[in-house]
Amino acid sequence: MNANSSKWVVGLTLMAAAGVAQAWPDKPVTMVVPFPPGGATDSVARSVANKLTEQFKQTFVIENKAGATGTIGAAQVARAAPDGYTLMVTSLAPLVVAEHLMKSLPYSPAKDFTYLTVAVQAPNVLVVSPALASKVNNVQDALALLKAKPGGISFATSGAGSSDHLTAELFWQKTGTKGLHVPYKGGAPAISDLLGNQVDMSFQNVNAVLPHIKAGKLKAIAVTGNKRSPVLPDVPTFAEASVPGLVVYSWQAVVAPKGLPTDVRDKLSAALVNAVKDPAISKPFTDQGLEVVANSPEEFTRFQQQESARWKEVIQAGNITIE
């Protein structure tokens, strides 16, 4: 093959690659949610999928692949072809927590994904059961109860390694106290038992318990944001309540398998940002207490590294394991 022929072949190859990027998506896109239907991540995924379907005139399908703290669905996405037709909408657990809790994770969070955007985030809020509502009015009351009954005050969480579990662990570390961790298979049953006085306290995503707080069924004590939540303006931050350093946000984000072509990545990340910032999507989010982030792939990649290092430290300090 002569030099001109080689140039011609290379040119065709580049044109073909560009054509693929321009054509994407020319078939349905699967968005894996590694948790059961009905939770915060699933809700965010469905809202975003509907908006992407409108943008591209192509179907974005939600596939719930739950199990093992989100790692079963994450492993499926990590193994998928990096062609833009398999994505994952997930919370923090599979991306920054699982590798520090599980001995044999079937993927590498740092090496096996293309990070697209953190869509939304929300602080957690410490809520107490109806039975404790008259006794616990602030963080100091909660600490007094924990110190009076070391290891005897139960904290419901949506599962081992969840943001609400790790928030409780960080709270105990910051205050020199210890509660009883009671893990559930999701936030809904944890909240149900809290409402039924089966457990004492819980750190829950603001958006998950906001209706119960507004209805007077659960009492909010403090939020883990770096500022007060707009939907709970009368509830102090932990810093205001003399517990500095307890700043925790749960978040929902979108990733793809590693190796996604740059053109497709850029097209997809721009579409995701536009979708999340669309008032039809963002207003219902913010009304629930979620905060729109919509950052870039580069910002998300750095954020993942920071979050992973942070939770590794908390997990090691608390000697936390998944049985």
Can you give the CATH number for the domain in which 158 is found?
3.40.190.10
Spell out the residues 6+ positions from residue 136 whose beta carbon is closer than 8 angstroms to its own: 128, 142, 145, 201, 219, 221
4 found inside a domain: no
For residues 214 and 283, state if they share a domain.
Answer: no
Q: Which amino acid is at 278?
A: D
Listed residue (113, 28, 109, 106) closest to 63, CA to CA? 28
240 found inside a domain: no
Asked whether 130 and 195 are in contact (CB, 8 A), the reply is: yes
Q: Whole-angstrom distance between the N-terminal and C-terminal Cα of the chain?
A: 61
The DSSP bridge partners found for residue 113 are: 257
For residues 193 and 133, state if they share a domain.
Answer: yes
110 found inside a domain: yes
φ, ψ for residue 40, nearest 5 deg = -65, -45
At residue 17, the pLDDT reads: 45
Tell me the CA distances in angstroms from 31 to 80, 119, 207, 219, 242, one per residue in order: 12, 14, 22, 36, 42
For residues 109 and 258, state if they share a domain.
Answer: yes
> Of 175, 204, 223, which one is at a domain's C-terminal end?
223
For residues 183 and 262, state if they share a domain.
Answer: no
Tell me the CA distances in angstroms from 226 to 38, 239, 240, 243, 264, one per residue in order: 28, 8, 10, 12, 35
244 found inside a domain: no
Domain containing 258 equals 26-120+251-318
For residues 160 and 127, state if they share a domain.
Answer: yes
Tell me the CA distances in angstroms from 23 to 136, 196, 232, 272, one per residue in order: 58, 53, 45, 17
Q: Which amino acid is at 246?
A: L
For residues 128 and 115, state if they share a domain.
Answer: no
Query: For every one of its 323 residues, what pLDDT tens digit does the chain have, with 9 covering 90 and above?
Result: 555 555 555 555 444 444 445 699 999 999 999 988 887 899 999 999 999 999 999 999 999 998 888 899 999 999 999 999 999 999 999 999 999 998 889 999 999 999 999 999 999 999 999 999 999 999 999 999 999 999 999 999 988 888 899 999 999 999 999 999 999 877 888 999 999 999 999 999 999 899 999 999 999 999 999 999 999 999 999 999 999 999 999 999 999 999 999 999 999 999 999 999 999 999 999 999 999 999 999 999 999 999 999 999 999 998 887 75
For residues 36 and 65, state if they share a domain.
Answer: yes
DSSP class of residue 70 equals: G
At residue 8, the pLDDT reads: 54
6 found inside a domain: no
**Total residue length of the chain:** 323
The whole-angstrom separation of Cα 228 and Cα 210 is 14
The whole-angstrom separation of Cα 169 and Cα 153 is 13
- Beta strand 201-205 with 113-128 is antiparallel
180 found inside a domain: yes
Number of domains in the chain: 2
At residue 221, the pLDDT reads: 98
**Domain CATH for 113:** 3.40.190.150
- State the greatest distance between any 2 C-alpha atoms of the chain, in Å, as a whole number: 86
The burial of 254, by beta-carbon neighbours within 10 Å (0-12 exposed, 13-18 middle, 19 or more buried), is given as buried
Q: Which residue in the block uniquely carries the two structure tokens 């809904």?
A: 188
Q: Where are the alpha helices (DSSP H) in the chain?
A: 3-23, 40-56, 71-79, 98-101, 139-148, 163-175, 187-195, 206-214, 262-277, 279-287, 297-318
For residues 46 and 107, state if they share a domain.
Answer: yes
Segment (H or E) for 173: helix 163-175
Spell out the residues 6+ positions from residue 170 whose beta carbon is closer than 8 angstroms to its own: 246, 248, 314
For residues 198 and 265, state if they share a domain.
Answer: no
